[in-house]
Amino acid sequence: MTNAAISVRGLQKSYKDLHVLRGVDFEVQKGSIFALLGSNGAGKTTVVRILSTLLKADAGTATVQGHDVSSAPLEVRQSISLTGQFAAVDEVLTGRENLVLVAKLRHLPDAGRIADDLLAKFRLTDAGGRKAGTYSGGMRRRLDIAMSLVGRPEVIYLDEPTTGLDPEARIEVWDVVKELANTGTTVLLTTQYLDEAEQLADRIAILHEGRIIANGTLADLKQLLPAAKVEYVEKQPTLEEIFLTLVGTGKENAA
């Protein structure tokens, strides 16, 4: 599709006898939020590492903003930013100093103005002069995402961005992610939290045992289950029910 910011076809990756990805296919449209949903070990982070040019696939192709991750890694890196599962902020530096440092590393002019603009965008202006080590979990994560946006990347990968956060901090991050999409940034979000995918994503792909077993809007995925049984009121299936029906309860994998 011509409007795809990310296109993945037949992606495979193994570590000796462990087959992590078994032919993954999906597309992410420009300016959208795409959630890659799966349990721990499903292969989500491996997909992100390949799309970030940090890892080579064994087979298949992937393009980001039209650039092949294998043959044009530099162009891909110039188009993307990655926020991993754990905040990468320097806790000794202030919030503003963290942002200034990233801007200078990217050789951008007027690093101070860039830092101040991002502090304002992420509601961190009042805390900008404090050491990042004093920030709450939600503030630290917001700063981490702000650092990822220095240089205005067209595509941002958020690899389980709310892991370990309390409910209030998670909502803060959700608001940030929604704002990113509203301003035209393409977001690839990996998560194991079903409500997160349900709240944020324009499209959801369920990754299970190295394969995409479902891909569509929330409404599309709801159609995969039988119509709601009407007794007194109609109960629509939740994303959790869809997920567990498609991948099983996981009890057989618990050992």
The overall average pLDDT reported for the chain is 90
Higher-scoring residue by pLDDT: 248, 36: 36
Contact 6, 155 (CB under 8 A): yes
* pLDDT greater than 60 at residue 45: yes
Q: In this structure, what are the phi and psi dihedrals at residue 17, rounded to the nearest 5 degrees?
A: -90, 0
The answer, yes or no, to whether residue 3 has pLDDT greater than 60, is: yes
Which amino acid belongs to residue 74?
L
Pair 212, 191: CB distance under 8 Å: no
Section 189-214 average pLDDT: 94
SS3 232: coil
- In the prediction, which pLDDT does 2 show? 60
CA dist., res. 218 & res. 237, Å (int) = 10
* Residue 126 predicted with pLDDT over 90: yes
Q: Which domains does the chain have, with CATH numbers?
A: 4-85+154-253 (3.40.50.300)
Cβ proximity of 65 and 27 under 8 Å: no
Nearest to 243 by CA among 199, 197, 201: 197
Burial 119-153 (b: 16+ CB within 10 A, else e): bebbebeebbeebbeebebbbbbbbbbbbbbbeeb
**AA letter at 230:** V
Average pLDDT over residues 171-192: 91
Confidence of residue 102 (pLDDT cuts 50, 70, 90): very high
Per-residue model confidence (pLDDT) at position 168: 84
Q: How confident is the model at residue 88 (pLDDT cuts 50, 70, 90)?
A: confident
The pLDDT value recorded for residue 18 is 93
Output the pLDDT for position 255: 41
Burial string for 215-224 (b: 16+ CB within 10 Å, else e) reads beebeebbee
Q: Rounded CA gap, 205 and 249, in Å?
A: 18
Distance CA(255)–CA(237), nearest Å, equals 28
Percent of the chain, pLDDT > 90?
A: 67
List, in sequence order, the alpha helices (H) in the chain: 44-51, 73-79, 95-105, 111-121, 137-148, 167-182, 194-200, 218-222, 239-247
> Residue 251: what pLDDT?
47
Give 156's strand partners.
81, 187
Q: Is the pLDDT of residue 152 over 50?
A: yes
pLDDT at 233: 65
Cβ 141 vs Cβ 121: under 8 Å: no
Please write the tens of the pLDDT for every residue from 68-81.
999 999 999 999 99
pLDDT at 249: 57
* Phi then psi dihedrals of residue 80, to 5 deg: -125, 170
Using pLDDT thresholds of 50, 70 and 90, give the confidence band for residue 253: very low
The pLDDT, as a whole number, for residue 97 is 97
Gap between the Cα atoms of 115 and 165, Å rounded: 24
Q: What pTM does this model have?
A: 0.84
3-state helix, strand, coil in the chain (%, to 5): 35, 25, 35
**Residue 247 in this model has a pLDDT that exceeds 70:** yes
DSSP state of 126: G
Q: Is residue 236 scored above 90 in pLDDT?
A: no
Structure confidence at residue 230 as a pLDDT band (50, 70, 90):
low
